Structure 1
Amino acid sequence: MGIKIGFICTGNSARSQIAEGFGKFYAEKFKKNIEIYSAGSNPSGHVHPVAIKVMAEKGIDISKNRSKSLEEIPLKDLDYVITLCGDAAETCPVIPDVDTQHWELPDPAKVEGTEDEKVEAFRKIRDEIEEKVKNLIDSIIV
C-alpha cells in the first residue's frame, strides 16, 4: 500500500498539473511507491497550453492530462493534500483529516504582458513547484 498525494488547486489547469507531472517524475526517479493525483475545486476543463509547453522543456509530458474535479480522485484515501492556490481571492478547498500543506503560489495564468513574459511567469512557478515537489517526495519514507 503506497502513499497517495493530491495536488489541489481551483482550476486544475496549471499549478496542480505541473505538480502532478513532477510528482510522478520524482516518485519514479526516487523509486518510491507513491501515487500522485491532481484536481480542482472548480476545474477549468483544460490543461493550460503554456503549462504543457514549460513542462515539455523539462522533458515531462502533461499534454494528455485533463482537468479533474475533486470527486474524480480518491480524496478520502489521500495521505497528503497539497494546495497550490496563491491569491487570497482564490478558494482553495480544505480537506479534513488529511496532512495538508499549503504552498502559496501565484497563478501564472493571470500574468498579463507579452507572450514571452507569460511564458517566463510559468517557468518561474514551474521551477518553484519542481523544487517543492522534489523535496516532498524525497522526504517521504515508503
Structure 2
Amino acid sequence: MHSVNKTIVATIVAALTLQLGASAQQWGQKKSAPPLTVKALSGPQLMPDVPQYTGQARFISGEKSDRNDGDSIRQTWHIREGRAEAVNWYKTALSGAGWKISAASRGTITGTRSDGTIMVIVNEIPLPDHYKSELMIQYYKSPQK
C-alpha cells in the first residue's frame, strides 16, 4: 500500500513539474527552464495564503524549490483525522482564503488563485505512528511583480 502512495505522489509531482514547465512558455516563443534548486525542509514551513491545518498533525518531510518563475513547496504530514474530515476541512478553509476549488475527489483537492496553485492529497492508511492519514500539500506561488 505504501508503494502505491509513493507512485501516486511521484505521478502528481511529475504532472505539476510539466505544468510549471508549460507555464514558462509564451505563445510562439520557447524559453529554457531556469535551473531548479531543491532544498529539504527540516521542519514545517508556512505557506503564504494557505490556511494552516487545525487538526492534530505531525510534520514528516518537505522540500522547497526556488525558480525564477516562482516557488514550490511540498510538505507531508501525518494527521489524526480521517480522509473525509481533512478533505472537507481543506475545501472550506481554502475557499474561505480566496482559493477557487478547480477539482475535488474523495482524497484530492486542487485550488487556484491568480498567483498560485495548490494540491492537497489525503490518504487514509495504517501508519506506524498510529496516526490515521497521510496529508501531502503541493503549493506553487508565482513571483511577485
- TM-score, normalised on structure 1? 0.30
Structure having greater relative contact order (Cα 8 Å, sep ≥ 6)? 1
More strand by share: 2
More helix by share: 1
- TM-score, normalised on structure 2? 0.30
Larger radius of gyration: 2
